Structure 1
Amino acid sequence: MTPPPRRSGRLTFHGPLSETRADALVRRLAGNSPASVLDIGCGRGELMLRVLAAAPGATGLGVDLDAEDLAHGRRAAEERQLTSRVRFLEESATGTPHGPADLVLCVGASQALGGDLPGALADLRGLVTDGGRVLLGEGFWQRTPTVAELSRMWPGAAATDHPGLPGLIDRVIAAGFRPEWTETASLDEWEAFESAYLADTEVWLAEHPGHPQAEETRQRADRHRTAWLTYRGVLGLAYLTLVPVAAR
């Protein structure tokens, strides 16, 4: 019998990122002519691969724990003739010995560094070269969620899980960065991302209602949909291009 599909099968990026925004980010980041790129929690490494294609002299290293995503990234690198310039490593990013790099990507993956956001930002400061850049994709509350909303989000969700956008920028500056560019995911980007995340699963459920795994899969999909429809318009994602402050 056909098993349930991988939920992220239709995604290009594992986050609310449009092609238009991705193109602009790649142009800006590659425009700094990085020689080395480090992707923390890289997943399939799509954004890193696009930066490498736009910066022919650069090499890249992606670190993640998801073997399937890493295999997908390696196949994509081979298809784009980037194999000689990129590596994908299946290992934890916590305490990573890799770096410093001219460009560090950490998009929706600060938790991969372990600890809290201030600790992750301190780690990122140590992973980027002076004069380099960090692209940080980090969640923030667009408004403080209610107790009822939090109860329908992820398990254990709390108002302290994220700062507001001003608080996020304050933490970035306290960690030794200046925000060169601040932008946030649009509602259209969020809806496209979350819909694509579940789309294959929803089609499979409609076509296989009697499958032995259907009920478990349905419950998981329904929980996820309830969560994202609850945080829709409440949880934001900031894309921050950060410049490390030089030592005095």
Structure 2
Amino acid sequence: MHRRQISSLAHTDHPIAAPLSDDSVHTLLDRSLPSGEARLLDLGCGSGTWLMRALAARPGLRADGVDNDAEAVAAAVRGCDEAGLGDRIAFHVQDAAQFSSSHAYDLVLSIGAAHAFGGLAPALKAAESHLAPGGSVLLGECFWEREPGQRTLDAGFAVEDYDCLATTVDRIMADGWVPLYGHVSTLREWDDYEWSWTGSLSRWALDNPQHPDRGQALGAAAGHRDAWLHGYRGTLGFVTLLLRRAPRS
């Protein structure tokens, strides 16, 4: 079973691919979305959930979504058509770091996708390249809630993967960005996300006992659950920041 198929099944019950509740997503979009006619871009859009919720809330918006997962983009297209939003959203199957457009965007989203650009600073640089003057970036990124111990490192992480929250924000500000709003995911949000991730994948495996990938799906869910509960739970954090460029002197 391909990693992307595992991810798709795992997000069945939690289509926002980040530890954020529906209320948190609503608040973040309400704080971030421009009024009137405007353009949005989601770099690493997955199944398009952020964009569909944004456009449903603001009838004057148009959007582009970019992701290199063709199956996720196909699901996004179907979802938009079913919601009657297909004429306002265009999806592109390609590497988000290579995307180019003739449009400038009033809001660029990059939620948990910094790895696709090679890190936090390159992700912000890529987002800025698509911004209209005065535009904003909604960025979601991990950080260390506390110094990672050996069990976290054994779960597949390295100390240098992330900084603490204060250092993460300091780095962003030193790069010329001004935070306008932020949300730090709670332990409850993390738990709901992880139980949904492992539970959705496990349910699919149990509901499809004859499928040749059943055992692999159960193994992936068990491995993920073990890494979370015995490794990074309470150590790995997630912050979502609304950012604008500081005026250049």
* TM-score (norm: length of structure 2): 0.88
Q: Specify the alignment match of 2:167 in structure 1.
A: 167
2:197 is aligned with what amino acid? Answer: Y
User: Following the alignment from structure 2 to structure 1, what is the Cα–Cα distance between the partners of residues 151 and 197?
Assistant: 24
Which of 37, 41, 45 is the equivalent residue of 2:40?
A: 37
Distance 1:245 1:224 in 2: 40
1:89 aligns with 2:92: yes
Percentage of pairs with the same residue = 34
Question: What pairs up with 1:64-143 in 2 under 5 angstroms?
Answer: 64-98=67-101, 100-112=104-116, 114-143=117-146
What is the match of residue 176 of structure 1? Answer: 176
- Aligned position for 1:20: 23
After superposition, the Cα gap between the structure-2 partners of 1:72 and 1:207, relative to the gap in structure 1 and judged at 3 Å, is closer
In 2 relative to 1, CA 141–80 (structure 1 residues): closer, same or farther, beyond 3 Å? same
Shift in Å, 1:197: 1.3
Structure 2 partner of 1:217: 217
Gaps of 5+ in 1: none
Q: Is the 8 A contact 1:8 1:197 kept in 2?
A: yes
- Of 86-95 and 192-201, more deviation after overlay is shown by 192-201
Residue 121 of structure 1 contacts residue 175 of structure 1 at CA under 8 Å; is this kept in 2?
Answer: no
Residue 175 to residue 189, structure 1, CA distance change in 2 (3 Å):
same
The letter for the 2-side match of 1:180 is L
Give the structure 1 partner of residue 49 of structure 2.
Answer: 46
**Residue aligned with 1:16, SS:** coil
Change (3 A) 1:246 1:53: farther
1:238: which partner in 2?
A: 239
Following the alignment from structure 1 to structure 2, what is the Cα–Cα distance between the partners of residues 19 and 231?
23
State the aligned residue count.
242
TM-score, normalising length: structure 1: 0.89
Post-superposition, which runs of at least 4 consecutive aligned residues in structure 1 deviate over 4 A? 31-34, 204-212
Report the Cα offset of residue 189 of structure 1. Answer: 1.0
Following the alignment from structure 1 to structure 2, what is the Cα–Cα distance between the partners of residues 81 and 12?
19
